[in-house]
Amino acid sequence: MLSLVAPPTLGRAPLPAEGGGAGAVLRTVLTGGPLPRAAIGRTAGLSPAAVSRHTADLSALGLLRELPPEDGPPRAGRPQLPLDIDTRHHLAAGVHIGVPWLTFGLLDLRGRVVAQERIPRRGDAAAVLRTVRAHLPGFVRRRATGRSLLGLGVVTGGWVDPERGTVVEHGPLGWRDVPVREQLLGVTRLPVHVDSHARALARAELLFGAGTGATELVHLFVGNVVDAAIATGGTVLRGRRSRAGDIGHLPVPGSTEPCSCGRTGCLEATVAQDTVARRAHARGLIPAPDFDRLLALAARGDAVALQLFRERLDLVAPAAALLIDVLNPEVLVVSEAGLTTVPALGDHLGQQVLRHTRTAPAPLVTGASFGRDLLAVAACAGVLDSTYQRPMELRTARAG
Ligand SMILES: [Zn+2]
């Protein structure tokens, strides 16, 4: 049966220019700051009067600040003091829901991790959201040290609908249609931004990482879930029903791994960290199929562990090349734990992608920018992205 559902996001995707002049000023200072007002105006294409107005508004909200003058002999005329992002007042809070862990994070406005804590993920969706509700207030009290929260981000793998705030489907967790935003709204009285892990990290890479200054970026996440996020014109695509980027079920030739979707040989099932850990255990490398132990071996330079991670990247490379050929981005970011732990594996990935892509010159292919902070950054990215896209909504939220 063909069913036509009115697409709720039609025409509502945020444009790079959203947030008007204030958003442009804030993003200009994030990327190039500290900057004097004249340079902000030139970069953002705004008049001196507009820059003055927006910087005054953003300073009043605690988002921008004028840096103190440098020591030196006084100069004639009114000094042009540079403006920078003010990281003293606000924090973004977030939780990343993974298969093994829940990771709680607090980030400042420059995307730096102020605090993170992780606790084991246990039980079904209801139990997990109960744990989040129970843990979050104490975490914020202990670690936010008096700074105010801009919002709460909730991020997980799989198919997530940010518009409705639901996790539509997460195979490895066994979640279907979980109304995450609705369940968490009461905890903080803050806006709750629910998104997929891959899209959240694409936003973070554009704001603070390898994609700073770029508008065309693809982020490929490889964990227990495999999915992609695509940014074009600086906007991260959701696609119809927020399902863009679901590439985890591309077939891998020769693979017989059973997948949560019911088929065998899907990319996600073949390269999932649980599968890689089982492979390492079967080869006698680790005493139990524990992915963290395998990572620790790779970090110490164990040749067999490194070979297993190279094999994982070999399986990922054709999918990465396919994304490059279809989308021709400026930057392709691959988030994969082996690359994060042993950055030298990036050369291997780059070579393998080159073998498969037809696009020349190939884009920058790189591991994720956030190292061991990856999950905390992902958790909070939606909140920070919202602040940088629509900073003046902060005023509305405060007034309300
Ligand atoms: Zn599958």
Single-letter amino acid code for the residue at 213? G
Read off the pLDDT of each residue in 254-272 and give the average, rounded to a whole number: 95
**Ligand 1: centre distance to CA 260 (Å):** 6
The tens digit of pLDDT for each residue in 88-119 reads 999 999 999 998 899 999 999 999 999 999 99
Q: How far apart are CA 59 and CA 57, in angstroms?
A: 5
pLDDT exceeds 60 at position 400: no
- For the purposes of burial, counting CB atoms within 10 Å of the CB of 213, is it exposed (0-12), middle (13-18) or buried (19 or more)? exposed
**Ligand 1: centre distance to CA 253 (Å):** 13
pLDDT class of 180 with cuts at 50, 70, 90 = very high
Q: How far apart are CA 15 and CA 233, in angstroms?
A: 8
pLDDT class of 394 with cuts at 50, 70, 90 = confident
**Ligand 1: centre distance to CA 249 (Å):** 4
C-alpha pair distances (Å), 221 with each of 148, 225, 236, 280: 31, 8, 15, 21
Q: How far apart are CA 226 and CA 267, in angstroms?
A: 7
**Ligand 1: centre distance to CA 232 (Å):** 27
Is it true that the peptide bond before 34 is cis, omega within 30 degrees of 0?
A: yes
Query: Among candidates 398, 394, 375, 390, which has minimal Cα distance to 107?
Result: 375
Where does 260-373 have alpha helices with state H? Answer: 267-271, 273-282, 291-299, 303-327, 337-341, 345-356
**Ligand 1: centre distance to CA 263 (Å):** 5
**Ligand 1: centre distance to CA 305 (Å):** 26
**Ligand 1: centre distance to CA 102 (Å):** 24
**Ligand 1: centre distance to CA 332 (Å):** 23
Q: For all residues of the chain together, what is the average pLDDT?
A: 90
**Ligand 1: centre distance to CA 322 (Å):** 18
**Ligand 1: centre distance to CA 130 (Å):** 29
Q: How far apart are CA 168 and CA 241, in angstroms?
A: 10
**Ligand 1: centre distance to CA 174 (Å):** 14
DSSP 190: S
**Ligand 1: centre distance to CA 268 (Å):** 7
Ion ligand 1: residues, CB within 5 A, are 249, 259, 261, 266
**Ligand 1: centre distance to CA 226 (Å):** 10
Pairing of strands 159-161, 166-170: antiparallel
**Ligand 1: centre distance to CA 358 (Å):** 26
pLDDT exceeds 70 at position 17: no
**Ligand 1: centre distance to CA 153 (Å):** 28
The tens digit of pLDDT for each residue in 286-314 reads 999 999 999 999 999 999 999 999 999 99
The tens digit of pLDDT for each residue in 123-132 reads 999 999 999 9
**Ligand 1: centre distance to CA 269 (Å):** 7
Single-letter amino acid code for the residue at 47? S
The tens digit of pLDDT for each residue in 274-287 reads 999 999 999 999 99
- And the tokens for 384? 């920070």
Structural domains of the chain in order of their starting residue, each with its CATH number: 20-66+81-85 (1.10.10.10), 90-202+375-399 (3.30.420.40), 212-368 (3.30.420.40)
**Ligand 1: centre distance to CA 24 (Å):** 41
**Ligand 1: centre distance to CA 172 (Å):** 11
pLDDT for 3: 36
DSSP 15: P
**Ligand 1: centre distance to CA 261 (Å):** 4
pLDDT class of 71 with cuts at 50, 70, 90 = low
Q: How far apart are CA 255 and CA 266, in angstroms?
A: 8
pLDDT class of 14 with cuts at 50, 70, 90 = very low
Query: Among candidates 10, 107, 178, 57, which has minimal Cα distance to 377?
Result: 107
